[in-house]
Structure formats: C-alpha cells, structure tokens
Amino acid sequence: MDPFTDEVLRDGEHGELVFTSLTKEALPIIRYRTHDLTRLLPGTARPGMRRMGRITGRSDDMIILRGVNLFPTQVEELALRIPALSPHFQLELTRPEGQRMDQLNVKVEPRDGVSAEAARDAAATLREQIKIHIGSSCTVTVVEQGSLVRSSGKLKRVYDLRPRSGGE
C-alpha cells in the first residue's frame, strides 16, 4: 500500500508491505504495517501464494528533502556502482540560516589506493547520479578514509542538522 495515503497499490507498484492474517482465531492481524518497501510481482509462486520483489528500504527511514522522498539505501546503491568509492558514506541535512531550502551534503570515503583526482571525479559522478536517479541536487564531499565516525563498527548514515519546527 502507499505509505502516505494508505491506498492499495496495483501489482508491480512500489509501496509498503502490509499483512493481514485472518487464520489466527484468538487475535487476527489486520493490516499489520511492516514499514518494508517492496512490490508484489504479478503471478503466483504456487497456488494461493503471492510473489514479492526484494525489499528496497523502509518507510520509516525516509527523508523528505525539498519535496523529494529520499532513502539512504538509494544513495548507497548509487555509491556502490562507483569503483573509486568505499561503501562508507554519510548524509548531512542542513538548512542554512536565512534560507528556506534544505541542503544535502553526501560525505564519501575513497577506496584504498584511489588518487585524490580520481576521488574528486567519483564524487562528481555520484552527485550527477543522485540528481538523475533521485531527483535532488546535492554536494558530495570526499573525506579521508576512516574519518566517518563509526560506533560498534556500524556507521551512522544520516545527520539531520536542520532546525526543528516550532522554534526548538
């Protein structure tokens, strides 16, 4: 279903996976929202069983940037296609003082052995790919290897530095 309007979508359209189980006698599960984004594929796997595409993200990971729905996994997929870039990146969302438009800066680390020039070219390629495939402009900054802060080995992907509404 559409995660914003709760409308049921046609087969093949991307939306949130929702389950309903009427076979439970004590407590039926009706419209259980998983927050997983996927699509139902046409046809069946076997009688009575639906086929599902791979999960592409989560509706609760979504960032709205200048009216565009952005998922960190989209940036990850684009970055992984560029051989000079490591899989480590961060998204930094800001709204410069006095401006109404939010800004996105993508920080990326180059792979081992990549020259500074090749890293800059890779960053420019990623910026273009984000504009083409996601529909939002951004800046891409190359940072030193290992400089993106990791805690317990896991990298925090999104830093939302925009001012909170309501004067907070």
Which has the closest alpha carbon to 114: 139, 89, 85? Answer: 85
Tell me whether residue 42 is in a domain. yes
Residues 67, 99, single domain; the answer is yes
Residues 86, 68, single domain; the answer is yes
pLDDT at 154: 59
Q: Report the DSSP beta bridge partners of residue 103.
A: 94
Residues 20, 100, single domain; the answer is no
Q: Is the pLDDT of residue 168 over 50?
A: no
Tell me whether residue 53 is in a domain. yes
Number of domain units in the chain: 2
Residue of 108 and 21 predicted with greater confidence: 108
Q: Strand 139-142: give its sheet, edge to edge.
A: 139-142, 103-110, 85-94, 158-160
State whether residue 65 is helix, strand or coil.
strand
CATH of the domain at 150: 3.30.300.30
pTM, full prediction: 0.67
Q: What CA–CA distance (Å, rounded) separates 15 from 56?
A: 10
Residues 85, 144, single domain; the answer is yes
How many residues in the chain?
Answer: 168
- The answer to whether the CB of 111 falls within 8 A of the CB of 84 is yes
Residue of 159 and 84 predicted with greater confidence: 84
Q: Is the pLDDT of residue 54 over 80?
A: yes
Range of the domain at 130: 62-160
Spell out the residues 6+ positions from residue 87 whose beta carbon is closer than 8 angstroms to its own. Answer: 76, 79, 80
Residues 47, 72, single domain; the answer is no
Kindly report, residue by residue over 154-167, the tens digit of the pLDDT.
567 888 898 876 54
- The answer to whether the CB of 3 falls within 8 A of the CB of 37 is yes
Residues 40, 70, single domain; the answer is no
Residues 89, 105, single domain; the answer is yes
Mean pLDDT along residues 53-76: 83
